[in-house]
Structure 1
Amino acid sequence: MNAVTFYTRRQGEETSFEYNFYDNGFSPSNLAVRKVLMAMLESVHHRLTHLEVEYNDGMLADKVGARRAGELLRFLGASKTNMKETYSGNVVVSRVFRAPLTPERYDYFHTLQDVSQLSHYRLQEQEKDRIVFYFTRYLQLIAPQQEAERFAERLDAYGLPYRWVPIDRGE
């Protein structure tokens, strides 16, 4: 297996690790990608307090079925009181909600068989993004140095070969 590539970028005292789906060529349900998400989760689990999910009703229903989609959204904390809708004209194109990250919700993400089951999600430390999945484009970890080292340790523990490609922002 080729090494999984992560684009890294220093952001102050933190490091961003971005797994780009186009460059790595793995399906979101591939075991290697699932191990990447699990390693990300395990490296910052003690910091995670909230989740934010953006989804499209039709796309989610197509992926998991209408009944399962409703059950999943309720399980993850969606409600009329925390829902925001994005419109294009008179049509709702997506919905977003934010909820506390309970142990059961953490387990949902840790055991995902397809990391793209939800189109766009963020696992956060209060308001700060720690893990971001964005429309099967990328999966990103933003971690302080200690957790960045733990991320590499978790990848090693999963037997996942990887390489870092530093990105210079020209600063």
Structure 2
Amino acid sequence: MPGSEPRSFEEYVAARYAVLVRSAFLLTGHHHDAEDLVQAALVKAVAVWSRIEDAPEPYVRRIMVNDNISRWRRHRGRERVGVPPGETWTDGRDGVEDRLDLAEALSRLTAKQRTVLVLRYYEDLTERQTAELMGVALGTVKSQTRDALAALRRVAPALAPGAAALRR
């Protein structure tokens, strides 16, 4: 977090809640599940606040990732992913079509693949940070990223770089 660090749990939540919900939405694919995920993570964080108050973000994100992994292990089925309210996932080339293509493509990924892509490309974490957050080996992050990107290219070729010129 840029600027002054929050001193209390309440300040942290006020400053970071919206960002945490956006990240959780990308992990879960559902707005209500995202809010539940953030709430559960914050409940766990407040219990140990005195220990993590100097750097709460990694701890809270780790809880979110772990809880989401537990959730999708319980619900092995694939889930539909939508676009977060007020968000766009493209550079605006063809707006609606690209967002629909991307939402459809993401819905075809496994939860683990979607998690890897969110952490690597939305949260801009390194492969090592992603592996630590997910509790998996670095090679798993690499292979899941490769497989997820290949799946996206397969199910949504219109989103590939340079594809906009071919559509015109």
TM-score by length of 2: 0.28
Q: Which has the higher strand share?
A: 1
More RCO (CA 8 Å, sep 6+):
1
TM-score by length of 1: 0.28
